[in-house]
Structure 1
Amino acid sequence: MSSLLKPLAPLEAARLFIKKIQKPTRILVAISGGSDSTGLLLALHLAIGDAGRDDISLQAVTIDHALRPEAAEEARGVAALCAQFGIVHHVRRWDEPKPKTGISAAARLARYSLIGAVAGEMRTDLIVVGHTQGDQQETIAMRSARSVREDNLGLAGMADAVLYHGRHWIVRPFLNSTRQDIRDFLADHGQTWYDDPSNDDAKYERVRMRNLPAEVPVEVIDHARKRSELSALAAQLIERHTESHHQSLIKIRAEGLREEPAILRYALSALASVIGGRRFAVSADSMDRVMAFVGKGQPGRVTASRVVFDRRKEGLYLVRENRDVPSLHISAGATGVWDERFEVTNTSAVDVVVGGSGVASVPNMLVNFPSSVPSGVATRAWQTMPVFQDDSGGVTIRPMLAPYDLFLPRLDIGLANAIAHLLGRSAYPQPPV
Structure 2
Amino acid sequence: MIAAVSGGGDSLALLLLLRDYLKRAQSGPSLLAVTVDHGLRAEAAEEARSVGRLCAAHGIAHRVLRWEGPKPATGLSAAAREARLQLLAGAAGAADSDLVLTGHTADDQAETLAMRLKRGGGRGIAGIPPATLYDGRVWFVRPLLKVRRSALRGFLEARGIGWVDDPSNRDRRFERARVRQALGEEDIDRLTGQAREAALAREDAGKRAATLIAGAARLGAPGLLYLPHSALQEAERGAAIYTLRILLAVAGGTPHLPDEARTAAILARAGDEGFRATLSRAVIAVRRGRLYIYRERRNLPRLALADGMIWDGRYRVMVRGERKDLALAPFGAENAREAEVADVDAPAGLVRSALAAEPALWRDGRCLGRASEGAVVSLRPVAGPWARLLPSFDLVPARAVAGVIGGATIPPLPWRGHKEENR
TM-score calculated relative to the size of structure 1: 0.86
Distance, in Å, in 2 between the alignment partners of 1:387 and 1:64 is 39
Q: Which residue of 1 aligns with 2:229?
A: 254
Residue 83 (structure 2) pairs with residue 110 (structure 1): yes
User: Pick from 286, 290, 300: which aligns with 1:325?
Assistant: 300
RMSD: 2.2
Code of the residue aligned with 2:402 in structure 1: it is: A
* Closer, same or farther: CA 368–128 of 1 in aligned 2, 3 Å: farther
Which consecutive unaligned segments of at least 5 residues does structure 2 have?
A: 370-374, 416-423
Q: Which residue of 1 aligns with 2:245?
A: 269
Contact 1:328 1:354 in 2 (8 A): yes
Give, in angstroms, the shift of residue 226 of structure 1: 1.1
How many residues are paired up?
Answer: 397
Give, in angstroms, the shift of residue 217 of structure 1: 5.2
Q: Which residue of 2 aligns with 1:400?
A: 382
Q: Which residue of 2 aligns with 1:21?
A: none
Distance, in Å, in 2 between the alignment partners of 1:335 and 1:30 is 24
Contact 2:313 2:387 in 1 (8 A): no
Residue 280 (structure 2) pairs with residue 305 (structure 1): yes
* Closer, same or farther: CA 349–192 of 1 in aligned 2, 3 Å: closer
Which consecutive unaligned segments of at least 5 residues does structure 1 have?
A: 1-26
Give, in angstroms, the shift of residue 72 of structure 1: 0.3
Code of the residue aligned with 1:260 in structure 2: it is: E
Give, in angstroms, the shift of residue 255 of structure 1: 2.6
Give, in angstroms, the shift of residue 229 of structure 1: 1.2
Q: Which residue of 2 aligns with 1:176?
A: 146
Contact 1:59 1:88 in 2 (8 A): yes
Distance, in Å, in 1 between the alignment partners of 2:322 and 2:107 is 53
TM-score calculated relative to the size of structure 2: 0.88
Give, in angstroms, the shift of residue 328 of structure 1: 2.2
* Closer, same or farther: CA 93–249 of 1 in aligned 2, 3 Å: same
Where in structure 2 are the equivalents of 1:19-98 lying within 5 Å?
Answer: 27-49=1-23, 51-98=24-71
Q: Which residue of 2 aligns with 1:278?
A: 254
Which stretch shows the higher mean deviation, 248-257 or 341-350? 341-350
Residue deviations 1:242-283, cap 9 Å, x none?
11034411102123212112212222222222211112222x
Distance, in Å, in 1 between the alignment partners of 2:173 and 2:186 is 19
Q: Which residue of 1 aligns with 2:400?
A: 418
Where in structure 2 are the equivalents of 1:107-146 lying within 5 Å?
Answer: 107-146=80-119
Code of the residue aligned with 2:350 in structure 1: it is: V
Residue deviations 1:372-422, cap 9 Å, x none?
422332232122112323449633222222222311111211211111111
Give, in angstroms, the shift of residue 335 of structure 1: 5.6
Residue 204 (structure 2) pairs with residue 229 (structure 1): yes
Residue deviations 1:287-312, cap 9 Å, x none?
31121221233231221111112223
Distance, in Å, in 2 between the alignment partners of 1:177 and 1:336 is 37
Distance, in Å, in 1 between the alignment partners of 2:390 and 2:174 is 25
Distance, in Å, in 2 between the alignment partners of 1:250 and 1:41 is 46
Contact 1:290 1:302 in 2 (8 A): no
* Closer, same or farther: CA 323–187 of 1 in aligned 2, 3 Å: same
Contact 2:336 2:352 in 1 (8 A): no
Give, in angstroms, the shift of residue 216 of structure 1: 10
* Closer, same or farther: CA 362–103 of 1 in aligned 2, 3 Å: closer
Distance, in Å, in 1 between the alignment partners of 2:283 and 2:104 is 39
Give, in angstroms, the shift of residue 53 of structure 1: 2.8
Distance, in Å, in 2 between the alignment partners of 1:33 and 1:349 is 40
Code of the residue aligned with 1:329 in structure 2: it is: A
Contact 2:337 2:352 in 1 (8 A): no
Contact 2:4 2:88 in 1 (8 A): yes
User: Pick from 382, 388, 391: which aligns with 1:409?
Assistant: 391
Distance, in Å, in 1 between the alignment partners of 2:178 and 2:304 is 44
Distance, in Å, in 1 between the alignment partners of 2:56 and 2:199 is 39
* Closer, same or farther: CA 349–82 of 1 in aligned 2, 3 Å: closer
